[in-house]
């Protein structure tokens, strides 16, 4: 017999409305739903797994760490990216080495470094303290703090900043921020 929570987990893979409602209810249930989500994760398709990752992040239960690490081996690059980012957002202990393996797998698949998956993995490694962000010198000099202490760059220097990143040879240590900051 299927429990109400298991039914909600199965609905994560349903139509958008059904999935969204199941997601909201699982978040409301909280930590009590995590074991059923972890158990049901292998039977979910990509959409359901992405929705489960959202639930994991909202609930913030450390028990989801091993399941997220397992998703780094998914056939779906978006699932791998979201799992990497969730590992960082949740500060999951033991995530650094699996993230490094996932990044090496990106390199072996010849995934372009500016695609979302390797960018998300680099970001996660940086957040977890396993990488140091590298910013080209000109871009670093032009950086200023915005009102909310977020990095920003004056819009008058937009072309220079783009060229600074574009003319740098890509390396494994160069981190192009997902959102390089707000231009103002």
pLDDT at 183: 38
Is the same domain home to 73 and 25? yes
More confident residue, 131 or 49: 49
**For residue 144, what pLDDT band results from cuts at 50, 70 and 90?**
confident
Specify the pTM. Answer: 0.78
Is the same domain home to 108 and 163? no
Is the same domain home to 37 and 62? yes
Of 37-46, 144-153, 159-168, the least confident: 144-153
Q: How many domains does the chain have?
A: 2
Is the same domain home to 127 and 159? no
Q: What is the pLDDT of residues 34-54, one digit of tens each?
A: 999 999 999 999 999 999 999
Asked whether residue 27 carries a pLDDT value surpassing 60, the answer given is yes
pLDDT at 86: 97
Q: What is the CATH number of the domain that holds 44?
A: 1.25.10.10
Q: Which residues contact 168 (CB under 8 A, 6 or more apart)?
A: 136, 174
Is the same domain home to 89 and 35? yes
Domain that holds residue 91: 4-132
pLDDT at 155: 85
Is the same domain home to 17 and 54? yes
Q: 36: which 2 tokens?
A: 């059923």
Is the same domain home to 63 and 23? yes
pLDDT at 180: 41
Yes or no: say if 147 and 119 are a contact pair by the CB < 8 Å rule.
Answer: no
Yes or no: say if 143 and 181 are a contact pair by the CB < 8 Å rule.
Answer: yes
Q: What is the pLDDT of residues 52-85, one digit of tens each?
A: 999 999 999 999 999 999 999 999 999 999 999 9
Is the same domain home to 21 and 41? yes
Mean pLDDT of 117-133: 93
Is the same domain home to 91 and 165? no
Rounded Cα distance between 183 and 157, Å, is: 9
pLDDT at 156: 86
Is the same domain home to 128 and 144? no
Helix (H) or strand (E) holding 9: helix 4-11
Is the same domain home to 120 and 151? no
pLDDT at 169: 57
């Amino acid at each position: 017999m299927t429990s109400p929570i298991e039914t909600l987990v199965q609905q994560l893979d349903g139509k958008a409305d059904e999935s969204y409602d199941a997601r909201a209810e699982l978040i409301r249930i909280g930590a009590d739903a995590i074991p059923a989500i972890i158990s049901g994760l292998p039977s979910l398709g990509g959409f359901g797994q992405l929705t489960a990752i959202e639930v994991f992040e909202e609930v913030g239960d450390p028990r989801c760490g091993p399941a997220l690490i397992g998703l780094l081996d998914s056939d779906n690059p978006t699932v791998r990216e979201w799992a990497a980012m969730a590992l960082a957002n949740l500060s999951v202990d033991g995530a650094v080495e699996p993230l490094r393996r996932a990044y090496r797998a990106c390199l072996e698949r010849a995934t372009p470094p500016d695609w979302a998956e390797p960018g998300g993995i680099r970001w996660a490694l940086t957040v977890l303290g396993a990488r140091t962000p590298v910013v080209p010198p000109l871009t670093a000099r032009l950086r200023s703090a915005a009102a909310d202490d977020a990095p920003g760059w004056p819009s008058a220097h937009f072309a220079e900043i783009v060229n600074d990143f574009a003319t740098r040879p890509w390396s494994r240590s160069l981190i192009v921020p997902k959102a390089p900051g707000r231009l103002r």
